[in-house]
Amino acid sequence: MSTLLIYYSEDEQIRDLCKNTYGHNTDTFEIREYFDRSPAYVKTIGSYLAITGKNTAIEKNKPDLQQYDTIIIASPIWAQNPAPAVNAFLRANNLKSKEVIGLLFSGGGSLAFANDVLRKRILLAGGICKSVVTIPKKSLIENNMSVVSLALQKAA
């Protein structure tokens, strides 16, 4: 079984944990925006885009999704929604018949709404949403957890 971890993060520690997957036959793909975003952007414009379900401009390169059995899509939660870059990725890619696990990194607050939103967006992209898992960002970083192991274990 081959797995692809697709992730977006403005947090260097989360980015490092996603890049350094281990213990699985897993490839990684980072969703990258055209422009670097400041923390002020995330709290203002980024949050507005997340709440309204809008996209942001992402780089055009795409992974070959056909070679993977399982896809994990990881995103921070911005204003109780997945990040706009993840919206852009899901709208630009066809996940038809792919088993998809959503993984959300939270800073706290209500999580159920973000889970539902990501689940619906995965379905709209044609994916078969096996599960959406949320974990506090602080816990993930402090325990140096394997992002892939966590997603697969919690989705089982």
Strand partners, 99: 70, 128
Place of tokens 């422009």: 35
Work out the percent of the chain whose per-residue pLDDT is above 90.
43
Number of domains in the chain: 1
3-state secondary structure of 152: helix
The pTM of the full predicted model, rounded to 2 decimals, is 0.89
The pLDDT of residue 108 is above 90: no
Domain containing 100 — which CATH number?
A: 3.40.50.360
What pLDDT score was predicted for residue 146? Answer: 78
Residue type, 40: A
Range of the structural domain that residue 8 is part of: 3-155
